[in-house]
Each structure stands twice: as C-alpha cells, then as structure tokens.
Copies of this chain bind each other. A is one copy, B any other.
Amino acid sequence: MNKRPRPAHAGERPSPPEALLEAAFRVFATRGYRATRLEEVAEEAGVTKGAIYYHFEGKEDLLRQALKHRHRAIFGEIERELAQQRAPASTKIRLVLRRLWQHVLNPTWGHTFRLMFGEAGVEFPALFRMWAEEGPIQGWSVVRRLIEEGVRNGEFQPGVDPEVAGRLAVSGLMLQGALQVHSGLQDLAPCDLDRIFDSGVDLFVHGLTVTHNQPRMPTP
C-alpha cells in the first residue's frame, strides 16, 4: 500500500525468476488477491518469503508482474491468421470465435477472469483496463471488423449492428466459459461445451445473415 523507496539494488535487479511469477499467478488466481498469503506463494515456488522481497516491491507489485507475465495477447496471432484467409466473413468469424472459445476454456483464462472481476479489478483498476483492452475489447473488435466486411460484401444484412453483435457474441461465449468451465456450473446445469459453441455460432451467424423475404436489391 505505502510505497517504500526502491531498494538500493533496484537498478541492476535481474529478471525475476519465472517460477515465482508463475506461482504467484496460480495462487492469486486461485485464492484471490487479499486471501493470498505471500508465504504460500513462496512455498509454491520453493523459496521463502524473503526472496519475494528481493525480486519484487511487495504484494501489489508481484500481482502486477505476474499478470503482465501471463499476457500474451492472442489476438495478434489471430489477426495474422485472418489476413491470409480468403473466405466468406462468416467462415472467418467462425474461425475467430473458435480460437477465442479455445482460449476461454483454458484454466488460465478462468483464473484471470475471476481475478479481474474479484478484488483485483476494484483495487487495481489500471490492471483491469489493461486486461479488458487486450482481452474482451480486442476480441469483439476483431469480430466487429469481420461483420463489417460481411455487410460490405452483402453476405450479412445491412441492418446489423456490427459493434453490438461482436460484443454480444464474444461476451456470451466468455461468460458461458466462466460459468460452465471455471465455476463448476457444469454439474449444476450441464451442457456439452461443443454444443454451446456450435449451436451458439450457428445462431449468431444466422442472425447476421441476409434473410429478407423480399429479394434484396444488389447495391447499385
């Protein structure tokens, strides 16, 4: 909480041991920020509490670094993949959403989701914004652009709202992942995960697709 002056050796401090960062992420994400005792992080990493203070400034700093360390924005990769595709927008959208869904199913994502909506989000808003930008927002932006493309080439209805459509598709899948997979709702309200994805995307794409019962006029 209170910033103590950086220790004398701060400058030449070498890259902090990955083990510590990974242990920290695991424990923070499992227990929550407050409930995490540094002792447990240290134990998990096979060192002692003191070692944490050699590498990091304190608990808060540890969380920050641990989260940064986990941040490999998947979307860079996705965009690259998309650029090479020559396919209808709906196909590309399916591709993007599938990647996203795979990502969401990953325990790491579940942990981060909990962490972000738990205390960390409130106590460190900057962290939350960082995550939101690189995660959900980026996710629905990609989808939005693909929808716009689909509208432009007549594949999708001109009336659709690409922004909102992207948001809801991505949000829907994300929250379903968080609930079913990472919050143990699978046994309270079971539902096959593939079915969620497949039926969900079908519905979404169908919702976007041109279906007017008067023949749509080609754009002049």
Contacts and interface: CB of A to CB of B under 8 A. Distances in A.
Contact of A220 (B122, B154, B174): B154
A57 interface: no
A163 to B, nearest CB: 6
Given A34-B34, A132-B188, A220 B218 contact: yes
Interface in A129-175: 129, 132-133, 136-137, 153-155, 157, 159-161, 163-165, 167-169, 171-175
Given A39-B7, A203-B168, A211-B212, A125 B184 contact: yes
B132 A183 contact: yes
B137 A164 contact: no
Contacts of A207: 203-204, 206-208
A154 B39 CA distance: 61
Interface residues of A, number: 80
Number of copies: 4
A214 B211 contact: yes
Interface in A180-220: 183-185, 188-189, 191, 195-196, 199-200, 202-204, 206-220
Given A153-B219, A188-B137, A211 B208 contact: no
Contact of A216 (B8, B60, B171, B210): B210
A176 interface: yes
B1 A123 contact: yes
A163 B200 CA distance: 10
A119 interface: yes
A165 B205 CA distance: 12
A18 interface: no
A164 B199 contact: yes
A37 to B, nearest CB: 7
A123 B114 CA distance: 12
B35 A123 contact: yes
5 contacts: A167-B196, A168-B200, A171-B174, A207-B207, A215-B217
